[in-house]
Every structure is written in structure tokens, then in C-alpha cells.
Structure 1
Amino acid sequence: MRLPFPSLSTLPPTLAKPPRYFPTLISHTSTTTTPYYRPLSRSLSHPSQPHHPQANHSTTPPPPSSKMSSPAPAQYVTVTPTPSGYALLTIHRNPVNSMNTLLWSQLQAALDRCEQDPNIRGLILTSGLSRPVFTAGNDLTEIFAPMTSREQYARFWTVSNQFLARLYRSPLITAAAIHGACPAGGTAMSMACDHRSISLHPASSMGLNEVAIGIPVPAKWAQLMATLTGQGEANRLCGFGKMVDAAEAKRIGLVDSLVDGEGKEVVADAVRWMEKTLRLPDVGRVITKAHFRDRLSREWEDEEWLRSEAEGAWEMLASDEVVTVLGGVMQRMSGKAKI
């Protein structure tokens, strides 16, 4: 299929103006841009909200009160900029980096800030766990109907998939450094990157294995896998809940590089690829990336699409059959509710 060369006016705002790289903060609901001057934090979470006294609007803060204080949300995502033009994004949520709404939200916040930092042109995603797990995928408590609600599930589904869609088309050069298990949501996140390095550790495995626990593979996730492995392989893996080891993942095109080592060696391999790729001029690379990824990404992050998908999925998740199957999975995992 012929891919037309877009004019700058048809590109997303972050691509249409590529001076020194991402000097503006882009609103996802507006085409307006505002200058971005905030320094990048190495540990990123939701921006803090200003305090608004309720009585006389005095600027003097009230005395400390146990009723007003609340624990800060756990921080699962850390960004470490490097002087070489890229940053390391580390995920650390014990025991297995299961991905809940908060973690997905922090990933989105980290991506936003990295794209806005003119000194960051690339991003390497990795795990901060000591055990061989990249991420075990979505937290089952977010999809097990008796433990959540229709509204919370819709929010979880929207937050997670909008991050994946944004990562897929990000103007940044992106790489996943995978050491260990990487099922389901972990595979989806790594597939959204430009490059994937994986260790030859016995625990290293990938796949969209949702069918194995009684639920369907999300449509856009399956579509993304097909762009990497081809329709036949994606159908085989997704349709039967198959996982593949590192060598097989390389053979079918799911990963790009095999590393005989542990987590540090995998990161080093991704760094070598990143430093080589950073030699490319940005503008041509970014526009060419948009040729291939923009259409799927825009369809994927569309709120109406996600709302409809979540509504249909909730009816399935709340059915007696799926509740029984997922309940059994959670019981076998002895409370470690992850996929």
C-alpha cells in the first residue's frame, strides 16, 4: 500500500514543529500548546495540586492535621536522564511489576515529560526488580469483576491503552530491555517500542496469553503483534494463548536482539542500539515513523473506541463463566493476582 508523505500541517502537534525537540506541552484534548519550563524529575508521578485553604483563602497554610494529611501515592516509575540524549525508565512494583491504574498513569506522566524535555530524544524501558521479570502484565484485581466496578475498569482500560497508543507513535526513539517473564500487557508495552532486546534467561518469555486465562486478546494488541510477526504467527500465538521463549521470539520477529546475560547486560545492549540510532536526524525519522504508526495509534487511543471496548469487555468479565475462571486463576496464584 502506498503511504503518502504528510505535510507538516497534517502531523500531530509534537511532530509538526520539531525545533530542538519538544519545547512545548501538548494537551491531549486541545491543539493549543504552552511553553514547558519545568525541570524533568527523576521520579515522576502526577503533578502535585496546589493547596486551596477553605476558610478565608489566606496564603498562610493551616497547622498540620492528621485529618488533612494522606499518604503519598506509591511511586512505581523512575526516569533517569543521561548525558547521551536518552533516559532510562525503570518500573519497580514488587513483586512482579503487575500493572494497575496508578502504574499505567505514572508511565503516561513519564512519557509526557520525556517528550517535553529538549535534552531527551530516546527512552529505554526496563525493570527494576531483582528477579527475572520485565512485567507480569495487568494486575488481575483491575479486571476481576468482584474486586472492581464497571466505572473503575473503564478508567483502567482507557488509561492503559492510551499510554500504549502514545508510546507506539512517540517521536522519541524507544527500546524495551526485557529480562525474564513478559506476558500479556508486558508484551503489548514492549511491542509498542521501536526496538526490543531480551535476555536468553530460561524465564524470558513473551506472548499475548490472555486466552489461557479465559479472556480475549484486545483487538489492537493482536493487530500490533501482526505488524511484527505477520498475521499467521499472531493468530497462532494469540488464538491459543501461546508464550514463546527468547529464541523463538527472535525467530518470529517479536524481538530484535538476544542477549546472553542478565538484566544489566540487556540494558547495555539496548543502550548500544540507542546510541547508534540517535545518530539519525530526528525530523526524517519522526515523519517516517508516523507514516507507519499514526493511523493505528489514533484509532487505538480514541476515547469512543475505548469506551465501547470497555463496555463490551465488562459484560464479558462480569459473566459467571469468566468470574469463575479468573477466580480460579487468582486462587492458583495465591494472591499474586497478575497476568
Structure 2
Amino acid sequence: MQRNAYLLCRKVAVPLMRARQMSVGHGLTTVEVDDKSGIAILTMNRPPVNGLNLELLQDIKTSIDTIESNKSRGLILTSSSNSIFSAGLDIMEMYKPDKDRVRKFWIALQDTWLSLYGSGIPTAAAINGHSPAGGCLLATACEFRTMLPNFTIGLNETKLGIVAPKWFMATFLNVLPVRQAEMALTQGKMFTTDEALRVGLIDSVTENKSAAIFECQKFIQTFEKVNPFARSLTKQQFRQKDLQQFEDERDNDLEAFLFFINQPSVQKGLGIYIESLKKKAKQ
């Protein structure tokens, strides 16, 4: 067993008590730890859409490591934005990429997923905005998800001409039935909040961010009387197949990504998508 992936280890929300706040890495995330409950809130803070670039991914990974090393009793992932949880992978990291940076970028994504999906402590996502692609990956890597109304979530890679890696699919399949996951992935479907609740992609709907944080806290507190060592081992056994397959194939996954992203047709598609975003921004 490798890395920390295999560690053994309403309307009105209850306010956090005696919280300590810290910034890590490049300052693109903050960690707030409630000294009373021992629960940490990891907030992504890369305006305007929390695009997952190299630096943000590195910060998320560092924050997860910090939370686990501080022996926090749980981790809540959320966003500082009022409308975007995370817009997913930063397209500019993949468009006409620098050879060394794009390699580091994908490795950082792999490491971040491994830390979150394989975390030894309870994890929950307070999804307070739209969550496409990589944003959905982070949310589904957590054990519990609550989401605000009138937003969307899903793995929409096929609509961008991109194929989701096996470990993206495995994360989705850990939440949804095989048939539902296959249809959603091949269609690049984005679920509304209500649709996501109906199919089980999220566990609850909450009115606002404070209520979402409170719902995540309640989930983590359900483990108060559970032996943390036994809980962690049980979780690892459920996820071991996905984690081990990833470790066995991660080098091949990296090379496959680098080959794919440098294909002329893929670069052309990304260029068209970037131009469409620019046109929308001008309107």
C-alpha cells in the first residue's frame, strides 16, 4: 500500500467555534480548522472560476496533506465563489502546452485525486456552484456531497472532444450505477441539482453555503463513535481496487494524456472552445 491513499489511519448553520485559518502553498486555498470539532474546511480560492491549473492543484494537495498531518477529524471541500465550485481543468494548461509544465500539471492532478479519493479521514463536498468536469471529479472523490439549488454537475469531457481517464470513470462509478454512469459519461451530461439528487450523484440539497457546510459537518460527526482506524481500513478496502489500478497504470496514464493532448485535432478543438469562451465574455 502506497502514499497517503492507503493511510490507516437547514437553513441556519451552527457557527464554527475557535477556528484557526491558514493559507498554504501559493495562497490559492485556505484551511480553516474548528478546534472544537476537529473538522477542517478546505476552500478553493482562485477567482473567478477555480480553474484547476498547476498551482491550484498543488495547493489542494498540500492542504489535504496539512489537514491529515494535523490529525483533523474530517475534511470539507468548498469554494470561495458564489456561483462556481470549480469549472474543472484549466484549458490554458492544455492548449499549446509547454512540455515540462503540462507534465507537471497532469502529475499534480493525479496526486490531488489520489490524496482526496484515498484520504484516511472522512471527506465531504459543499458544492456551492457549478461543478463540471474536474470540479465533478473532486466532488465525487469525497464520501458525501451536498449541493445548492440551480447549479449543474457532471463529467462533460466528451462535449469538449476529451476522453475521461479510467480513474475519472472509476470515481463516477463509485457513486452511480454502471448504466447511469455510462450514459452520463458518453453523453457528457451535466445534471441539474435536482437531477443529481434523483440519481444519487449528490446526497442532499441545501439552501446556502452555510447550510451546506453544516450538512457536511453532520455527516462527518456520524463517525464520532466509530473507531477511526477501523473506519479508515474499511474505506480503503472499498476503494483499494481503484487506487491500486491507478498506481499500476499512472505512468501509462500520464503518457497517454501527453500523447492525446498534443494531437492536432484535440488542439484545434480546444482552440475553438477557447474562442467561444472569449465571445461569451464579450457579450
Q: 1:85 aligns with which of 21, 38, 52?
A: 38
- Percent of paired sites with the same residue: 28
SS for the counterpart of 1:251 is helix
How has the CA–CA distance of structure 1 residues 330 and 290 changed in structure 2, closer, same or farther, with 3 Å as cutoff?
same
Q: 1:150 maps to which residue?
A: 99
* TM-score, normalised with respect to structure 2: 0.88
Q: 1:268 maps to which residue?
A: 214
Q: 1:121 maps to which residue?
A: 73
Q: 2:14 maps to which residue?
A: none
How has the CA–CA distance of structure 1 residues 86 and 207 changed in structure 2, closer, same or farther, with 3 Å as cutoff?
same
How has the CA–CA distance of structure 1 residues 183 and 238 changed in structure 2, closer, same or farther, with 3 Å as cutoff?
same
1:312 Cα deviation from its structure 2 partner: 2.0
Q: 1:105 maps to which residue?
A: 58
Give the letter for the 1:78 counterpart: T
Contact 2:146 2:203 in 1 (8 A): yes
1:274 Cα deviation from its structure 2 partner: 2.1
SS for the counterpart of 1:222 is helix
1:317 Cα deviation from its structure 2 partner: 1.8
Contact 2:39 2:76 in 1 (8 A): yes
Query: Mind listing any 5+ residue stretches in structure 2 that lack a counterpart?
Result: 10-19
Q: 1:208 maps to which residue?
A: 155
1:250 counterpart = 2:197 = yes
1:227-246 superposed matches below 5 A: 227-246=174-193
Query: Mind listing any 5+ residue stretches in structure 1 that lack a counterpart?
Result: 1-7, 19-39, 46-73
Q: CA RMSD in A?
A: 2.2
How has the CA–CA distance of structure 1 residues 307 and 269 changed in structure 2, closer, same or farther, with 3 Å as cutoff?
same
- Larger radius of gyration between Structure 1 and Structure 2: 1
SS for the counterpart of 2:266 is helix
SS for the counterpart of 2:48 is coil
1:336 Cα deviation from its structure 2 partner: 9.3
| Structure with higher helix content | 2
How has the CA–CA distance of structure 1 residues 80 and 110 changed in structure 2, closer, same or farther, with 3 Å as cutoff?
same
Moved >3 Å (runs of 4+): 11-14
Instruction: Give per-residue Cα distances to partners, 1:34-85, cap 9 Å, x unaligned.
Output: xxxxxx971122xxxxxxxxxxxxxxxxxxxxxxxxxxxx411100110211
* TM-score, normalised with respect to structure 1: 0.74
> Residues of 2 paired with 1:134 and 1:159: CA distance?
19
Give the letter for the 2:124 counterpart: A
1:136 counterpart = 2:80 = no
Between stretches 218-227 and 237-246, larger displacement belongs to 218-227
SS for the counterpart of 1:285 is helix
